[in-house]
Amino acid sequence: MLRYGIFHLLFFVVFFSIGAVALGVAVLCDDFVQYCRNRHLVKEAEISVHRLKSLNADYDGLLEQLESNPDLLKRIAPITLGTGPTDPCAIYPKARAEELAVARKALVEHAGEEQTDASIPKWLQRCSEPPKRIALFIAGAGLILISLVCFTPEEDEPKS
Protein backbone atom coordinates (compact mmCIF):
# COMPACT_ATOMS: atom_id res chain seq x y z
CA MET A 1 0.00 0.00 0.00
CA LEU A 2 2.92 2.32 0.66
CA ARG A 3 4.09 1.88 -2.94
CA TYR A 4 0.80 3.24 -4.27
CA GLY A 5 1.09 6.22 -1.97
CA ILE A 6 4.55 7.05 -3.33
CA PHE A 7 3.30 6.77 -6.93
CA HIS A 8 0.32 8.96 -6.13
CA LEU A 9 2.59 11.54 -4.56
CA LEU A 10 5.00 11.41 -7.51
CA PHE A 11 2.22 11.81 -10.08
CA PHE A 12 0.65 14.60 -8.05
CA VAL A 13 3.93 16.53 -7.87
CA VAL A 14 4.68 16.07 -11.58
CA PHE A 15 1.20 17.00 -12.85
CA PHE A 16 0.75 19.87 -10.43
CA SER A 17 4.17 21.41 -11.10
CA ILE A 18 3.79 21.18 -14.90
CA GLY A 19 0.31 22.70 -14.65
CA ALA A 20 1.53 25.48 -12.37
CA VAL A 21 4.40 26.31 -14.74
CA ALA A 22 2.01 26.36 -17.71
CA LEU A 23 -0.38 28.67 -15.86
CA GLY A 24 2.48 30.91 -14.77
CA VAL A 25 3.87 31.22 -18.30
CA ALA A 26 0.40 31.93 -19.71
CA VAL A 27 -0.28 34.65 -17.16
CA LEU A 28 3.20 36.24 -17.06
CA CYS A 29 3.98 36.00 -20.79
CA ASP A 30 3.75 39.76 -21.42
CA ASP A 31 6.04 40.46 -18.49
CA PHE A 32 8.62 37.97 -19.80
CA VAL A 33 8.54 39.61 -23.25
CA GLN A 34 8.97 43.06 -21.72
CA TYR A 35 11.84 41.78 -19.56
CA CYS A 36 13.64 40.36 -22.60
CA ARG A 37 13.20 43.61 -24.54
CA ASN A 38 14.49 45.69 -21.63
CA ARG A 39 17.49 43.40 -21.25
CA HIS A 40 18.23 43.80 -24.98
CA LEU A 41 18.00 47.60 -24.71
CA VAL A 42 20.40 47.58 -21.77
CA LYS A 43 22.92 45.53 -23.78
CA GLU A 44 22.66 47.96 -26.70
CA ALA A 45 23.21 50.90 -24.36
CA GLU A 46 26.28 49.24 -22.83
CA ILE A 47 27.71 48.62 -26.32
CA SER A 48 27.12 52.27 -27.23
CA VAL A 49 28.78 53.49 -24.04
CA HIS A 50 31.75 51.20 -24.68
CA ARG A 51 32.06 52.51 -28.26
CA LEU A 52 31.90 56.13 -27.04
CA LYS A 53 34.57 55.48 -24.41
CA SER A 54 36.78 53.96 -27.11
CA LEU A 55 36.28 57.00 -29.35
CA ASN A 56 37.06 59.35 -26.46
CA ALA A 57 40.28 57.47 -25.76
CA ASP A 58 41.26 57.66 -29.45
CA TYR A 59 40.57 61.41 -29.58
CA ASP A 60 42.47 61.98 -26.34
CA GLY A 61 45.47 60.19 -27.83
CA LEU A 62 45.23 62.26 -31.01
CA LEU A 63 45.04 65.49 -29.00
CA GLU A 64 48.11 64.49 -27.00
CA GLN A 65 49.99 63.83 -30.23
CA LEU A 66 48.92 67.18 -31.65
CA GLU A 67 50.08 69.00 -28.50
CA SER A 68 53.41 67.22 -28.41
CA ASN A 69 54.17 67.45 -32.16
CA PRO A 70 53.23 70.75 -33.86
CA ASP A 71 54.43 69.48 -37.26
CA LEU A 72 51.67 66.91 -37.21
CA LEU A 73 49.08 69.68 -37.25
CA LYS A 74 50.77 71.25 -40.28
CA ARG A 75 50.58 67.94 -42.15
CA ILE A 76 46.98 67.09 -41.19
CA ALA A 77 45.38 70.53 -41.54
CA PRO A 78 45.45 70.86 -45.36
CA ILE A 79 43.89 67.43 -45.89
CA THR A 80 41.30 67.92 -43.18
CA LEU A 81 40.25 71.33 -44.42
CA GLY A 82 40.29 70.28 -48.07
CA THR A 83 42.96 72.69 -49.22
CA GLY A 84 45.91 71.69 -51.36
CA PRO A 85 49.12 70.32 -49.87
CA THR A 86 51.67 72.93 -48.88
CA ASP A 87 54.72 70.68 -48.91
CA PRO A 88 55.85 70.02 -52.52
CA CYS A 89 57.85 66.93 -51.50
CA ALA A 90 54.99 65.15 -49.75
CA ILE A 91 52.64 62.76 -51.51
CA TYR A 92 49.02 62.96 -50.42
CA PRO A 93 46.82 60.14 -51.71
CA LYS A 94 43.37 61.09 -52.95
CA ALA A 95 40.50 58.75 -52.24
CA ARG A 96 37.76 58.35 -54.80
CA ALA A 97 34.09 58.23 -53.85
CA GLU A 98 33.89 54.49 -54.54
CA GLU A 99 36.79 53.77 -52.19
CA LEU A 100 35.22 55.89 -49.48
CA ALA A 101 31.88 54.10 -49.93
CA VAL A 102 33.57 50.70 -49.55
CA ALA A 103 35.40 51.86 -46.43
CA ARG A 104 32.18 53.29 -44.94
CA LYS A 105 30.34 50.04 -45.68
CA ALA A 106 33.08 48.03 -43.94
CA LEU A 107 32.89 50.27 -40.88
CA VAL A 108 29.10 50.00 -40.71
CA GLU A 109 29.24 46.20 -41.02
CA HIS A 110 31.83 46.03 -38.25
CA ALA A 111 29.65 48.17 -36.00
CA GLY A 112 26.66 45.95 -36.81
CA GLU A 113 28.53 42.81 -35.74
CA GLU A 114 28.75 44.12 -32.19
CA GLN A 115 24.99 44.53 -32.00
CA THR A 116 23.12 41.61 -30.51
CA ASP A 117 19.89 40.22 -31.89
CA ALA A 118 16.63 40.82 -30.13
CA SER A 119 16.95 38.21 -27.42
CA ILE A 120 13.32 37.16 -27.14
CA PRO A 121 13.39 33.36 -27.22
CA LYS A 122 11.35 31.68 -29.95
CA TRP A 123 9.35 29.65 -27.45
CA LEU A 124 8.31 32.87 -25.73
CA GLN A 125 7.29 34.44 -29.03
CA ARG A 126 5.12 31.41 -29.77
CA CYS A 127 3.60 31.42 -26.28
CA SER A 128 2.72 35.11 -26.51
CA GLU A 129 0.33 34.54 -29.43
CA PRO A 130 -3.23 34.80 -28.03
CA PRO A 131 -4.63 31.42 -29.21
CA LYS A 132 -1.60 29.52 -27.96
CA ARG A 133 -1.63 31.48 -24.73
CA ILE A 134 -5.27 30.53 -24.09
CA ALA A 135 -4.51 26.88 -24.90
CA LEU A 136 -1.55 26.95 -22.51
CA PHE A 137 -3.75 28.41 -19.77
CA ILE A 138 -6.46 25.76 -20.28
CA ALA A 139 -3.89 22.95 -20.38
CA GLY A 140 -2.25 24.16 -17.17
CA ALA A 141 -5.58 24.48 -15.40
CA GLY A 142 -6.55 20.99 -16.62
CA LEU A 143 -3.33 19.47 -15.29
CA ILE A 144 -3.83 21.09 -11.91
CA LEU A 145 -7.41 19.82 -11.74
CA ILE A 146 -6.34 16.31 -12.74
CA SER A 147 -3.65 16.29 -10.09
CA LEU A 148 -6.04 17.50 -7.40
CA VAL A 149 -8.87 15.14 -8.34
CA CYS A 150 -6.99 11.96 -9.18
CA PHE A 151 -3.81 12.01 -7.15
CA THR A 152 -4.65 13.52 -3.80
CA PRO A 153 -4.07 11.20 -0.88
CA GLU A 154 -7.11 9.26 0.20
CA GLU A 155 -8.41 10.10 3.61
CA ASP A 156 -8.47 7.24 5.99
CA GLU A 157 -11.97 6.37 7.11
CA PRO A 158 -12.25 6.24 10.84
CA LYS A 159 -12.90 2.70 12.00
CA SER A 160 -15.76 2.49 14.39
Instruction: List, in sequence order, the alpha helices (H) in 69-159.
Output: 70-81, 97-114, 122-127, 130-150
In a domain, 94, yes or no: no
- The count of domains in the chain is 1
Q: For 71-106, what is each residue's pLDDT tens digit? A: 887 777 776 776 766 667 767 667 777 887 888 888
Phi-psi region of 84 (alpha: psi -120 to 50; beta: other; left: phi over 0): beta
In a domain, 86, yes or no: no
CA 114 – CA 51 distance, rounded (Å): 10
Distances (CA, A) of 143 to 22, 25, 34, 131: 9, 14, 27, 18
pTM score: 0.60
Residue range of the domain that includes 132: 1-54+128-153
In a domain, 111, yes or no: no
